[in-house]
Amino acid sequence: MTMKLTAVLTGVMLSATSAHALTVTPSEDGNALANSILGAGVTINNVSYSGAELGASGSFSDGNSSGIGIDEGLILTSGEASLAVGPNTDGGTTGSGGGAVTSLTIDFTTQTGDLFFNYVFASEEYNEFVNSDFNDTFDFLLSGPGIAGSQNIALIPGTSTAVEIDTVNNNVNSEFYNDNDADAGSPFDIEYDGFTDVFLASATGLTIGEEYSISLIVSDIGDGAFDSAVFIQGGSFGGEEPEPNVIPVPASLPLLLAGLGGLGILRRRNKSA
């Protein structure tokens, strides 16, 4: 009986880790990238895009089954977007064009006076380059009427602190951090060594009908090695606050629990037989 139970559990574990995976479709089309995140209450007027390399950005799907907390949307990276696909087999994945900047700039008007969208920041620079000179950055720089210069709205919830590997990690704001490093068992089915919870970027009190501009930027800092990425939820870039954030869970957990539930049913049936 023990041998049979072990075999069933092993089968559940194998199916849980291989049944789903993040899918990335690279794209250089700035309009398509912007429209992949567009929601209600915002009109896009113009888009410009520049990639760190060919294939630095694109659309993604099956993010929830991979554990990042956003199921589909836009991915921008400092290297190569397709390298985001798990499992985590390399602690220093780097696209061939590392060292540059990826930027998607969207000129828009809001019909509500507000702007919101959900995002996740991920990086291969976790955990070994926290508090070092190699700290890839990303910014959501908003400019327009009533804003002096530009304002970064990629902030840790409830603070004015920018999100980066030095400000969200195992030691600082760890309640918002998901460790996917090999030392932690790489529990999530993506390549990056760590990533944040789903955060909400927001700007309120904008002037209705006036044009604003936001630049979504991911940059290599210090050197061109080790990719970083931002995942932005599809349909969340709008004038109304999107659905509440999803807490990431290891990609294998839902299927494992489902398998164990099925195992419990089988055991009850065997008992009553």
pLDDT score at 99: 57
**206: which 2 tokens?**
């904008």
pLDDT score at 14: 33
Spatial distance between the Cα atoms of 107 and 143, rounded to a whole number of angstroms: 10
pLDDT score at 122: 95
Alpha helices of the chain — where are they, by DSSP H? 2-18, 30-35, 63-66, 253-272
Residues of the chain with pLDDT under 70: 1-20, 91-99, 134-135, 221-225, 244-273
Of 93, 87, 61, the C-alpha closest to 189 is: 87
pLDDT score at 6: 29
pLDDT score at 267: 38
Spatial distance between the Cα atoms of 129 and 124, rounded to a whole number of angstroms: 9
**19: which 2 tokens?**
């049944």
pLDDT score at 84: 94
For residue 15, give every residue at least 6 positions away whose Cβ sits within 8 Å of its Cβ, in sequence order, or none. 255, 259
Of 61, 157, 77, 173, the C-alpha closest to 118 is: 157
